[in-house]
Amino acid sequence: MCCAKSSNCAGPAALERHEGGGAIARSEHWRRRQPLLMQCITKCRRTAEPRRRTSKYLHNSYRVRSFGLSRKQKMMDEDHRDPGNGGEASAKGKGRSGHWEKAKQEVTPKINKYRYTEIEYDNDIRILKILKGGKDDPLMCMLFPSALPSSEPRSKYKSYPYIALSYFWGIDDPIHPVEMFHDTGVRDGMAVVQLATGRKFYIRKNLDAALRQFRHPNRDVDIWVDALCINQSDVIEKKAQVSRMHEIYSEAQEVVVWLGEGNEETRKTFELLRSILNLERLDQLIKDKSKHEQWMLIVKLMKLPWFSRRWVIQELALARHATVRWGDQSMPWEQFADAIALFMTRHDEIKAYLEKPKKFSDKKDPNAHLGLMEPRALGANTLVDATTNLFRRSDDGGRIQHRLVNLEVLVSSIFLAFEASEPRDTIYAVLSLAKDTMPRPKSKGRAPWMEDTKHYAVVNFMKAAFGGAVSIYKYFNSVSLAPEVSGPPDPYSVSLDDRIAPDYEKSLMDVCADFMEYCVETSESLDILCRHWAPMQKRLTKRQKLQLKIEGREEKKEHMPTWIPSIEGHVYGEPLGVFEGRKNADSLVGGVERQYQQHYRASKGLPPEVTFGKSKEKTTDDEDIEDHPSSQTSEADEGEPTGSDTRAEKLPRPRLNKFDGTLHVKGFKLDTIVRLSGRVLNGVIPHEAFEYAGWPKKSKDSTYPEDAPERLWRTLVADRGPDGTNAPTWYRRACRECLNHTNTNGDLNTNEFKDLGLDDTPRTMKLFLERVRGVVWCRKFFLTGITRTEKRAKHYGLAPSGARENDIICILFGCSVPVVLRESMEQPGRFEFIGECYVHGQMDGEFLSLHPDIPPHPYKGVQGFTLI
């Protein structure tokens, strides 16, 4: 089979246009694409060999010279193109030409002809009018400006009603055309346009399907779609409009959730959802084990790409009224959410039906059974919980009255199941949902001298002079540092801390470091160091990778310091990792259920003393500007809407990093790791873990104590029960029972108990092992230095999977758990941050209690560590 379907193949149809002296061959665009085309031709030449042998017209047709085709090929191609030649050659040529024309469309970037009309993007938005049409008619649309309700008094436009679309962009190339027209002035009626004035605009497949589904045969439809209503290539406009997304979705008449084109299962899935809403019917469905396959319909629904998008959280949570649409099926969001929530109340029973594959081949199919994933961690379930529990709404269920959760918790705990194609959106996409990022009234207790603009400059000088020390900001945490300005500025942008305000020109490291500095200041805690949340760097498309290879360049990845914890260390790794099962242990610093009520107090609740290292070079000032055409499309936005090239914007030159990658923290060294077990892989605890705690090695002559060692059973559960509560005393008995079931090597396979079934394993053992698996998964057991006065080691506990012998265990002021550090070989005196750890007997401030002479904050004379 030829590579015509490859996204990188242009095929012979493109060769027809590549003739020496041709207009395209002379163009800059063609010269840029030529290496890619030559590579595609080589591939076609290999895969099309059988076809060449059977057709005299294709003999030698793939001989390519450096500046064109052979004369013979040129003549044959002309025969194929000219319908007047007739005969078999013409017919076959036409079929081949259509085949390769399709391939050429897939590899050649589409160039949008539509040019945006400027708007006051701080006040206004664009609305897309889908012109009426039949099912198979070409898509025709018109963009027109509209004011937002909050800015209508200062806008020259009225505010018009619209529907807002929430959908999955997709990763395919935008090759589906829309005929775009400029504003005709028609609002309430049907727009009449002149077809000759239309301009092509290319969109992706999923959006094309959505617009066609929403198009009405008899009237125009007004809708807001980010890919079309925002000039994606205008950085300044995009930044301004993104900062108003919360208002765009909250002011929409309705938010429509588009799950994608339907299939043969769509109708059955929505019928099942409606059945679940009947509580009696739900019980009947659960008892009917003969129809358990139907539950996979809901599992597949919950795995649709829309439920993994990070922006959908804001789009849906802020909606006053929302509807879910999948193909031609629809359901109000309230009913959809209730159905998913009811499904989750019975997920343990449903999971028991679906957990074991029936056939060997089922193991290769992620949809074959539910046991490959944890439904509670899926984005769909998280989204249902979030829209219900993140806010307090008005009595009619419409507008949000109170936000209940802080930004740190949203980013680092709740919404880890959602991914963003733009890594910076990990933070920016949830700003409008946090209680600490919304507009606050001016503080009444503000010092009088702060009102003066002159003193405002002094404050900024103080902030810069102290190099980023968090303590300098504490006084100003609850007050605005901005001077009074004239006019009615947007309250959202004015009150938002500069460190977390959307800025897509900042490096990813700066975005993450600014967020962490903000979190440390607002929470007065260093626990953010132990929560794995930081996004992966943006992946290049196949086209971009191929282009780098052709140009002989390597992909450059931004260096991230070890103290910015990557999401790879999260329980399920990357957002979509939940489909593959657990990868890492639960975080010791706790999840979302208790917010800032910490599980441990290793540093006795003392505040942190930290300094985020700043680059010595100054970042670009606002005055450092250059002409930059807004039509320039960045590599990240390849294939997205192009903007107007009729004007130039003033944009900052590329800025140097604000942070230098160092973090100085104060604390104490507790001990040094001298022995480590292997990792706990897939729930199998190695025998070293038990031996380090004093449990006898398994042998014929071994005698075992009646009770499990205290530090063994407490370490296995990190001395806590579920949700950070105190460990139940019966854990000791459950642990002792489990130790009777180690294998011949002395290892304990926790999966064996899990697979025995609900009826064969005591419930207490299942609860105990569930907690153990969450604590020890992929961690290592360790021992520290041996004392002279006693045979056993000083400390025993759990370390991160990346820990090594001779790593040091430290207690940092402001961090609720001990951490593991490693001195850098390249930079002696500086340390890499390895991760959090559990040290038995040192989790509640015992070490600091033995040192009452510790000076008060800022801990003068106390040892510090510079992390890199």
**Domain extents in the chain:** 3-107, 124-258, 266-404, 662-867
Q: What is the mean pLDDT of the chain?
A: 76
* Helix, strand or coil, per DSSP, at residue 510: helix
CA–CA–CA angle 282, 287, 289 (5° rounding): 115
Judging by DSSP bridges, how do beta strands 176-181 and 140-147 pair with one another?
Answer: parallel
Residue 395: the pLDDT is 72
Q: Which of 198-212, 323-337, 528-542, 724-738 has the lowest mean pLDDT?
A: 528-542
CA distance 265 to 214: 21
pLDDT-derived band at 50 (thresholds 50, 70, 90) equals very low
Sheet strands (E) in 342-395 = 391-393
Residue 741: the pLDDT is 87
Give CA 865 to chain center in angstroms: 31
Q: In whole angstroms, how far apart are CA 145 and each of 112, 116, 162?
A: 20, 11, 12
Check residues 297 and 45 and name the one with the higher pLDDT. Answer: 297
pLDDT at 543 over 80: no
What does the CA dihedral 380, 269, 340, 251 come to, rounded to 10 degrees? 60
Residue 17: the pLDDT is 37
Give CA 751 to chain center in angstroms: 30
> How crowded is residue 35: how many other Cβ atoms within 10 Å of its Cβ?
14
% helix, strand, coil for the chain, step of 5: 40, 15, 45
CA distance 521 to 523: 6
User: Which tokens hold the place of 551?
Assistant: 């140009």
pLDDT digit string (tens) for 744-767?
889 999 887 765 444 567 888 888
Residue 641 has what DSSP assignment? Answer: P
- Mean pLDDT across the stretch 157-174? 90
The answer to whether the CB of 246 falls within 8 A of the CB of 492 is yes
The answer to whether the CB of 605 falls within 8 A of the CB of 623 is no
* Helix, strand or coil, per DSSP, at residue 865: strand
Query: Percent of the chain beyond pLDDT 70?
Result: 69
- Mean pLDDT across the stretch 772-780? 96
pLDDT at 384 over 60: yes
pLDDT at 73 over 60: no
Q: In whole angstroms, how far apart are CA 141 and each of 115, 130, 223, 233, 328?
A: 14, 5, 10, 20, 21
> How crowded is residue 513: how many other Cβ atoms within 10 Å of its Cβ?
28
Which residue in the block uniquely carries the two structure tokens 């629809």? 330
The answer to whether the CB of 687 falls within 8 A of the CB of 746 is yes
Q: Which of 159-163, 560-564, 568-572, 685-689 has the lowest mean pLDDT?
A: 568-572
CA distance 356 to 344: 19
CA distance 702 to 716: 22
CA distance 305 to 611: 40
CA–CA–CA angle 16, 18, 20 (5° rounding): 120
CA distance 804 to 825: 14
Nearest of 588, 581, 653 to residue 617 by alpha carbon: 653
pLDDT at 424 over 70: yes
The answer to whether the CB of 673 falls within 8 A of the CB of 807 is yes
CA distance 711 to 689: 11
The answer to whether the CB of 204 falls within 8 A of the CB of 172 is yes
pLDDT digit string (tens) for 82-113?
444 444 444 445 555 566 565 555 556 678 88
Judging by DSSP bridges, how do beta strands 780-784 and 796-799 pair with one another?
Answer: antiparallel
Residue 580 has what DSSP assignment? Answer: T
Residue 447: the pLDDT is 35
State in Å, rounded, how far the first CA of the chain is from the last one. 51
The answer to whether the CB of 862 falls within 8 A of the CB of 668 is yes
CA distance 764 to 731: 8
Q: Which of 33-42, 666-675, 724-733, 751-760 has the lowest mean pLDDT?
A: 33-42
CA distance 760 to 772: 19
Q: In whole angstroms, how far apart are CA 142 and each of 126, 147, 208, 630, 784?
A: 10, 17, 15, 21, 70
pLDDT at 7 over 60: no
Query: Which parts of 288-330 fold into alpha helices (H)?
Result: 295-302, 311-317
pLDDT digit string (tens) for 189-239?
676 666 667 889 999 999 999 999 999 999 999 999 999 999 988 888 988
Nearest of 15, 200, 174 to residue 104 by alpha carbon: 15
Q: Which of 63-67, 100-104, 424-428, 736-740 has the lowest mean pLDDT?
A: 63-67
User: Judging by beta carbons within 10 Å of its beta carbon (0-12, 13-18, 19+), is residue 280 exposed, middle or buried?
Assistant: exposed
Residue 513: the pLDDT is 97
- Mean pLDDT across the stretch 619-642? 36
Residue 791: the pLDDT is 56
Residue 179: the pLDDT is 93
Check residues 196 and 74 and name the one with the higher pLDDT. Answer: 196
pLDDT digit string (tens) for 130-142?
999 988 899 999 9
The answer to whether the CB of 802 falls within 8 A of the CB of 514 is no
pLDDT digit string (tens) for 264-281?
899 999 999 999 998 888
pLDDT at 300 over 90: no
Rounded to 10 deg, the angle between the 379-389 and 333-345 helix axes is 110
pLDDT at 621 over 50: no
* Helix, strand or coil, per DSSP, at residue 542: helix
Q: Pick the most confident of 82-86, 446-450, 508-512, 619-623.
A: 508-512
- Mean pLDDT across the stretch 623-635? 34
User: Judging by beta carbons within 10 Å of its beta carbon (0-12, 13-18, 19+), is residue 720 exposed, middle or buried?
Assistant: buried
User: Which tokens hold the place of 599?
Assistant: 């599980």
Residue 368 has what DSSP assignment? Answer: S
Q: In whole angstroms, how far apart are CA 146 and each of 181, 191, 232, 435, 630?
A: 16, 16, 18, 29, 22
